[in-house]
Amino acid sequence: MALQALMLRKRIDESKKTLAGLREKEADFKKREAELEQSIEEAATDEEREAVEAAIGEFETERTEHDESVAGLEKQISDLEENLRSVEQAEEERDARALKERAEAKRAAELEKKEVNRAEQRGDYTNMDSRNLFAKLSVQERDAIFTRDDVKGWIGEIRAHIAEKRELTNVGLTIPDVFLGYLRENVSRYSKLYKHVNVQRVSGQARQTIMGSVPEAIWTECCATLNELSIGFNDVEVDCYKVGGYFKVCNATLEDSDIALASLLIDAIGQAIGLALDKAILYGQNTAANMKMPEGIASRLTQKAKPANYRATARTWQDLHESNIITIPSSANGLALFQKIVTASGAIKHNYARGTKVWAMNEATYTKLQVAAMSINASGAIVSGMNGTMPIIGGVYELLDFIPDNVIIGGYFELYLLAERAGGKFATSEHVYFIQDHTVFKGTARYDGVPVIPEAFVMIGIEGATPTSAMTFAADTANGTGA
């Protein structure tokens, strides 16, 4: 913006100098006009009068051109000055906004620092995790939670178990209802894909009905009989699979404040479940007998034959392993790379989608796309078209480290059905780590999922990579089965 104003000022100065030079000629025009008036009076013969008339015509032409040049320059200068005022006003507004934003950011940082200091002085928080977990609650709301009878009973039973070193045989410590929302919120905070998929909270087996493609209506005479239209319905069934595990907690940690205890338990299980959930949404495998998890997008796209357990009432199975899995050669770079990605994204079908696309990749792949999208703007600064959304084709991106390098999984994630079950629990062990002075807690959640409209997704490999459904999951060694 500053460069634009500088250029405008230079053009205005140059135009004014040219205008000043033209106006200096006005004295010469006045002198010639006076001489021609004298010549008119002195002309006595026809030849003299014709010579005077010719001189007058030449004079008038030159003066008209001169006046037009002066008027054109004056208008040009006026327009340039108006543009300069607009640019300078925009600069002032931008500087004012920047100053206001810096002031607001400074005030917000100071307020946050004061709030943290006050909280630490009150002893409300013992670590950053607890502050994040209950950041949306006021002090009164948080205190109200921990004074509830069910919450006090839950934490009290854990403390009693630790203090008295007694065994809780076959007793599950169900999370109080007030905590169920925080467990779900924490899972969504650690699962990057949870917020993009279609989450349905169900119990038992459940089915989602899918309407077939809308047929074309048929034109006919105004009074003629209407034709019957044909439309079909299919369904997709989801079951129940459990994700979870246990972790050891030092008894010294459990003897800290109630808020630290709740924060540690819920935060840890949220991280574990969130990671497993994202991996299952993309790479989950449930066709083999030992794979008890949702079906992933990559697993469905790589299928080359209809699974034996494919439901007869489901949508017609389609082979998508060629149309929706695209490899872009390593020779494609810069603009050519994004042209190939845009072409590959054409395989995505949006018939059932209402939202926006989502693109999942790891940090290394994202960095390569950033480099490919780099350019130099008018100010001479290096910028990248990867600014929160995928260039040209649009859609947000999510970075997940477990995705292989050079692989991009994208599409309308709202068309992935994630069935979320009720009954999340924590429970204690039976002195498994008694000598080590640890208490063991388990955490579980139950989900199933499936890409309802698989043709709404695509896998793209850049630099010659061929996307596959291969993925390593944590081994189920406790039940004698692998990943």
- pLDDT for 358 equals 93
Rounded to the nearest 10 degrees, what angle do helices 2-24 and 26-42 cross at?
20
Q: Tell me, what's the pLDDT at 455?
A: 93
Section 442-451 average pLDDT: 79
Give the pLDDT confidence of 460-478 residue by residue, as tens digits: 999 999 999 999 888 777 7
- Residue 259 dihedral angles phi and psi, to the nearest 5°: -65, -40
CA distance 345 to 459: 9
The reported pLDDT for the residue numbered 42 is 80
Mean pLDDT of 390-408: 90
The mean pLDDT value for 170-189 works out to 56
Q: What confidence tier does 290 reach under pLDDT thresholds 50, 70, 90?
A: low
d(CA 197, CA 202): 15
Q: What is the mean pLDDT of residues 384-392?
A: 73
Tell me what pLDDT residue 340 has. 92
Query: What pLDDT is attached to residue 283?
Result: 94
In order of 175, 377, 382, 473, the CA distances from 385 in angstroms are: 46, 11, 10, 34
Which residues lie closer than 8 Å to 338 by C-beta, 6 or more apart?
Answer: 372, 373, 385, 391, 392
The answer, yes or no, to whether residue 383 has pLDDT greater than 50, is yes
Q: What pLDDT, on the 0 to 100 scale, is given for residue 250? A: 65
Mean pLDDT of 181-196: 71
- Say if residue 61's pLDDT is above 50: yes
Percent pLDDT > 90 in the chain is 16
- The larger pLDDT score, comparing residue 443 to residue 321, is at 321
335 or 112, higher pLDDT: 335
Measure the CA–CA gap between 338 and 135, rounded to whole angstroms: 41
Q: What pLDDT, on the 0 to 100 scale, is given for residue 129? A: 42
Token code pair at residue 37 = 């008036």
Do 141 and 392 form a contact (C-beta atoms < 8 A)? no
Q: Quick check: 371 pLDDT over 60? A: yes
Residues 6+ apart with CB under 8 A from 228: none
Measured in whole angstroms, the distance separating CA 475 from the mean position of its chain's CA atoms is 32
pLDDT at 169: 43
Global confidence as pTM = 0.59
**Can you tell me whether residue 247 is helix, strand or coil?**
strand
User: Is residue 103 scored above 50 in pLDDT?
Assistant: yes
CA 259 to chain centre: 32
Cβ(172)–Cβ(389) under 8 Å? no
Comparing 318 with 24, which gets the higher pLDDT? 318
Give me the long-range contacts of 107-112 (CB less than 8 A, separation at least 24).
Answer: none
Statement: residue 424 has pLDDT above 60: no
- Of 86-95, 103-112, 420-429, the range with the highest mean pLDDT is 86-95
Model pLDDT, residue 408: 95
244 phi and psi angles, rounded to 5 deg? 165, -160
Structure confidence by residue, pLDDT tens digits, 235-257: 666 677 777 766 666 666 556 54
